[in-house]
Structure formats: structure tokens, C-alpha cells
């Protein structure tokens, strides 16, 4: 893997446009053996959208390399199994989230779809367990039965729309217009 990028940036003068469009780096997360660190760099374009790149920093040399350019990718982390594999989430649209992995020791770098989740999720965490398996945790909205809920496909509202201020309500004590019922018929209150 080549390391063509360093951390220096030279600017002649600071303007609001330069400050807004300057790359913003997230925290660097080291791998298991402490030789590499993973971070996200976001660059906002004025009048446009935010571009996201995932970088790996070689801690010994201080040089970094872009391993992924994908505006829909988020929350990259090391897999945690002792390999240099990155696992990350990607917005698939309509509330679907893809889980992808990249082994940065392989050439060429290629993202592999590990699975998909039918709900928007965040907060990806991985942990190697003592029996050799990996634990995987995410955050998302859940229904009362504990299943993840796709909040992107929900209706805008679940209420009713009334055109008048007088609501119709039927119960065993009230008539169809909300008036109390007496034994002799409906009476006005």
C-alpha cells in the first residue's frame, strides 16, 4: 500500500469560505497492534454536499492513504479480530443499511457486502470474544416486540384530519354528535 498523503495544509489567508470547506478529520482509531489508525475526513463544498473519505494512517511514518471514497459510508471501525479489516455501515436508501468490510492488506482494495439491515442504524461497535467469535452491536429504533423498525418508510402521520371543530364521537353514553343521550331521546346541553 502506498502512503501518498501527509497532514499538512498551507493557506494564504483565512476566509469564511476556506474555513467552511477545509477538511474536517474525525478521531483516529488505532488497529489491534497499534501500527495503523483509521479516521474519516469530511469536506463540505459551498452550495453542494459533504464529501466523505475513509483514511488509514501509518503511525510510524505519519503518512495516510484513502481506502474508501463514499459519501454514503459512515462509522468505520476495525473488525477487531487481529486483521487489518475495516467494517463500516452504508446507507442503502429507503431505510436499508448495508454492512461492508475492506481488508486493507489485500490488493486491490475492495469492499465486500457482509450483510444488510432493514432499518437505519448507527453506533457500530465490534469486539473479539475469548471463544474466537466477534460481537457486533448497533443502535436503532425498535418496536415493542424488540425488532428493528424502519423509520424511513413510515407514514407521515397516523392521525385523522377533520374539517370542522366539532368532532364525531360514538360511545355507549354519547350520541353520534357527542351529545348526551337521555331516556327520552337526545337533549342539548
Cell numbers of 100, please? 461492508
d(CA 131, CA 39): 29
The C-alpha cell at 30 is: 488505532
Could you tell me which of 111, 69, 118, 54 has the C-alpha nearest to residue 92?
118
pLDDT band at 50 (very low <50, low <70, confident <90, very high): confident
**pLDDT value of position 188:** 45
C-alpha cell at 151: 423509520
pLDDT, tens digit (0-9, with 9 covering 90-100), for 101-140: 999 999 899 999 999 999 999 999 999 899 989 999 999 9
Question: Picking from 16-20, 144-148, 176-180, which range would have the lowest pLDDT averaged per residue?
Answer: 176-180
The number of CA neighbours under 13 Å toward the Cβ of 161 is 2
Would the pTM count as exceeding 0.75?
no
Model confidence at 43: pLDDT above 70 = yes
**To which H or E segment does residue 17 belong?**
helix 16-21
Amino acid at each position: 500500500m502506498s502512503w501518498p498523503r501527509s497532514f499538512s495544509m498551507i493557506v494564504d489567508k483565512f476566509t469564511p469560505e476556506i474555513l467552511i470547506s477545509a477538511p474536517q478529520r474525525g478521531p483516529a482509531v488505532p488497529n489491534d497492534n497499534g501500527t495503523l489508525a483509521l479516521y474519516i475526513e469530511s469536506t463540505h463544498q459551498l452550495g453542494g454536499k459533504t464529501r466523505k473519505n475513509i483514511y488509514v494512517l501509518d503511525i510510524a511514518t505519519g503518512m495516510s492513504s484513502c481506502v474508501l471514497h463514499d459519501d454514503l459510508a459512515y462509522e468505520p471501525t476495525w473488525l477487531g479480530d487481529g486483521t487489518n479489516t475495516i467494517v463500516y455501515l452504508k446507507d442503502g436508501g429507503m431505510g436499508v443499511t448495508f454492512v461492508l468490510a475492506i481488508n486493507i492488506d489485500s490488493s486491490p482494495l475492495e469492499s465486500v457486502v457482509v450483510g444488510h439491515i432493514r432499518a437505519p442504524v448507527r453506533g457500530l461497535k465490534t469486539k473479539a470474544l475469548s471463544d474466537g467469535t466477534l460481537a457486533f452491536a448497533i443502535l436503532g429504533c425498535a418496536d415493542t416486540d424488540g425488532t428493528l423498525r424502519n423509520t424511513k418508510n413510515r407514514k407521515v402521520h397516523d392521525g385523522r384530519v377533520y374539517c370542522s371543530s366539532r368532532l364525531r364521537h360514538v360511545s355507549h353514553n354519547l350520541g353520534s354528535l357527542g351529545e348526551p343521550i337521555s331516556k327520552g331521546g337526545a337533549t342539548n346541553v
